[in-house]
């Protein structure tokens, strides 16, 4: 068909109740789809060959966030991909991350975080973000200790609170007639 490529976008509102929950959600997002080694990329792309690329990310939305999962794939793989996403959600809700996976995402985040301060423009952006969000002046000094304090149990609890497939709005494009 002329619409061989489709796009899956799942999105939901997220309002972390405190900074500790925000740190945990950051790590949950990383393991879900926030970097190339994430579950979405490894399972949907590397293991199953269902997508060209898929990931998840947070975008600021007023004082909270929109959490989005977005991927490009063959239209014929949309249903199967949505089922695999549900399966990944279920796994994160019922199985603790291994120590090695948890350590890997914390190390990845730590490297990305430190790299975000490289140069005067990056520093200005960090300052602007802190002002926009009304963060304390020592906020950035608390981030890495906060990230490293998150446990596998914390991530599983957050998965159970936030990874409900029905709480995500589904937007599909491409040849979706067969759905």
pLDDT digits (tens, 9 = 90+) for 18-38: 999 999 999 999 999 999 999
* pTM, rounded to two decimals: 0.92
Reported as a pLDDT band with limits 50, 70 and 90, residue 16 is very high
Question: Which residues fall within 8 angstroms of residue 178, CB to CB, at 6 or more apart?
Answer: 75, 76, 79
Among residues 31, 29, 23, the alpha carbon closest in space to that of 148 is found at: 23
C-beta of residue 60 within 8 angstroms of C-beta of residue 15: no
Copy the structure tokens of residue 26: 């950051």
- Per residue in 66-104, pLDDT (tens digit) is 999 999 988 888 889 999 999 999 999 999 999 999 999
**How many CB atoms sit inside 10 A of residue 2's CB?**
5
Copy the structure tokens of residue 78: 């949309």
The Cα-based distances of 36 to 30, 75, 102, 176 in angstroms read 9, 22, 15, 27
Copy the structure tokens of residue 139: 């906020």
End-to-end CA separation in angstroms for the chain: 15
Q: Tell me the pLDDT of the chain averaged across its residues.
A: 92
């Amino acid at each position: 068909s002329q619409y061989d490529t489709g796009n899956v976008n799942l999105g939901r509102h997220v309002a972390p109740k405190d900074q500790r929950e925000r740190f945990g959600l950051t790590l949950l997002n990383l393991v879900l789809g926030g970097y190339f080694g994430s579950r979405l990329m490894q399972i949907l792309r590397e293991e199953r060959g269902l997508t060209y690329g898929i990931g998840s990310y947070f975008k600021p939305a007023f004082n909270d966030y929109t959490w989005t999962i977005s991927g490009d794939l063959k239209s014929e793989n949309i249903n199967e991909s949505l089922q695999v996403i549900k399966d990944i959600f279920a796994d994160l809700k019922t199985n603790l991350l291994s120590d090695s996976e948890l350590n890997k995402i914390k190390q990845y985040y730590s490297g990305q975080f430190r790299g975000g301060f490289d140069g005067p423009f990056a520093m200005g952006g960090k300052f602007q973000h802190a002002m926009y969000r009304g963060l304390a002046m020592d906020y950035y000094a608390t981030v890495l200790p906060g990230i490293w304090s998150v446990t596998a149990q914390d991530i599983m609890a957050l998965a159970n609170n936030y990874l409900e497939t029905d709480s995500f709005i589904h937007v599909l494009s491409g040849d979706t007639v067969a759905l």
